Amino acid sequence: MDQRKFRFPVEIFTRLKEGRAYDLASGWWPGMPVASAHPPFQLQSFRTPRGMRNEGLFPYSGGLNKENYAFISEVISTTTHAGTHIDARCHVTAGEDDSWFGGYTANEYMGDFGPLRDDARDIQPFLARGVLLDIAGAIGVERMAPGQPIGPAELEEAVKAHGLALKPGDVVLLRTGFMASWPDRQKMLEEAQPGLSIDGAVWLREHDPALVGADNTSLEVAPSTVEGEPQPVHRYLIRTHGLPILEWVFLEDLAADGVREFVFLAVPLNIKGATGSLVRPLALV
């Protein structure tokens, strides 16, 4: 269902003091790092000034176009899980019936052009208090080690080190230092990555956030620390609790400037059948 109206706390704007914005997006281009499970980002020109003239496309040729007017357009082919993006509730399934959050099964609710409910259209815009938990900074490293998990101890240490208190409705972003290597394909697509563990996910969920994100490929630690489960954090947050997650968030500038609290703004694309959305989040201070 299309979401044309949403609510946000009016007092959120009182947090704005400096009139600055941080771009938290990865950017998108052909050849960019994309997780191996997804198709690559591709872009090609579709119409060009010379092409339209050579093909004699009306009204861009001949005496009808005295100003030599033309335009350039393109075709983009991509997964909605390329670069900085939000996962929709329908993205993750589990069980013999391949069901997602709410018990809706792929057998009953999958159409020829994507899931028929809980898709990107149902991800409301985010305008909320944002909190950066710089885990790497809190434990005194530039970048966490490959496969290093973020559990309750690391989360609590970061909260204490930054003098923060998490509140219901917050957007909580975790920095591992992973995006400092962006866009190095070899480093960004390493199989072992630092990230959130399942017990860390439970700890965060208890604080009732509106959104959880991180600067790595899939939010959670890789490889999984739970035997028999490839992505337990995805299953727990998205499928069990319907909590959207944000991945591949660029947090280096926020961390370098010591920004821990901000106004978080992100508007997902309203695409029917999409299992997620490319998004360009902003941290406003």
Give the closest residue to 189 by CA, choosing from 214, 215, 217, 213. Answer: 217
Predicted pLDDT at 114? 97
Overall domain count for the chain: 2
Distance CA 112, CA 124 (A): 24
154-157 contacts, C-beta under 8 A, 24 or more apart: 154/200, 155/200, 155/203, 155/204, 156/203
* One domain for residues 64 and 151: no
Distance CA 24, CA 266 (A): 10
The verdict on residue 5 lying in a domain is: no
Predicted pLDDT at 282? 98
Distance CA 221, CA 234 (A): 11
* One domain for residues 65 and 160: no
Per-residue pLDDT of the chain (285 residues; tens, 9 = 90+): 456 788 888 889 899 999 999 999 999 999 999 999 999 999 999 999 999 888 887 666 667 778 888 899 999 999 999 999 999 999 999 999 999 999 999 999 999 999 999 999 999 999 999 999 999 999 999 999 999 999 999 999 999 999 999 999 999 999 999 999 999 999 999 999 999 999 999 999 999 999 999 999 999 999 999 999 999 999 999 999 999 999 999 999 999 999 999 999 999 999 999 999 999 999 999
Helix/strand/coil for 12: helix
* One domain for residues 24 and 162: yes
Predicted pLDDT at 8? 86
* One domain for residues 46 and 112: no
Distance CA 226, CA 228 (A): 6
Is 118 within 8 Å of 99 (Cβ atoms)? no
User: Where are the extended beta strands (E) located within the chain?
Assistant: 21-23, 42-47, 73-77, 85-87, 99-100, 104-105, 110-111, 114-115, 126-134, 149-150, 171-175, 195-196, 211-214, 245-247, 261-266, 276-278, 282-284
* One domain for residues 28 and 73: no
| 3-state helix/strand/coil string of 171-183 | EEEEECCHHHHCC
Burial of 261 (0-12, 13-18, 19+ CB in 10 A): middle
Predicted pLDDT at 158? 97
> CA 179: distance to chain centroid?
13
* One domain for residues 148 and 202: yes
The verdict on residue 1 lying in a domain is: no
Burial 106-136 (b: 16+ CB within 10 A, else e): eeebbeeebbeebbbbbbeebbbbbbbbbbb
State which of 55, 77, 99 marks the end of a domain: 77
Is 237 within 8 Å of 206 (Cβ atoms)? no
* One domain for residues 170 and 258: yes
The verdict on residue 153 lying in a domain is: yes
Which pLDDT tens digit goes with each residue over 125-153?
999 999 999 999 999 999 999 999 999 99
* One domain for residues 68 and 89: no
Is 10 within 8 Å of 35 (Cβ atoms)? no
Domain range for 260 is 10-32+80-284
Is 60 within 8 Å of 66 (Cβ atoms)? no
To the nearest whole number, what is the mean pLDDT of the chain? 95
Q: How many CA atoms within 13 Å lie on the side-chain side of 1?
A: 3
* One domain for residues 18 and 49: no
* One domain for residues 15 and 146: yes
* One domain for residues 60 and 103: no
What pTM was estimated for this model as a whole? 0.94
Q: How many CB atoms lie within 10 A of CB 99?
A: 18
Which pLDDT tens digit goes with each residue over 14-59?
999 999 999 999 999 999 999 999 999 999 999 999 998 888 876 6
Q: How many CA atoms within 13 Å lie on the side-chain side of 79?
A: 19
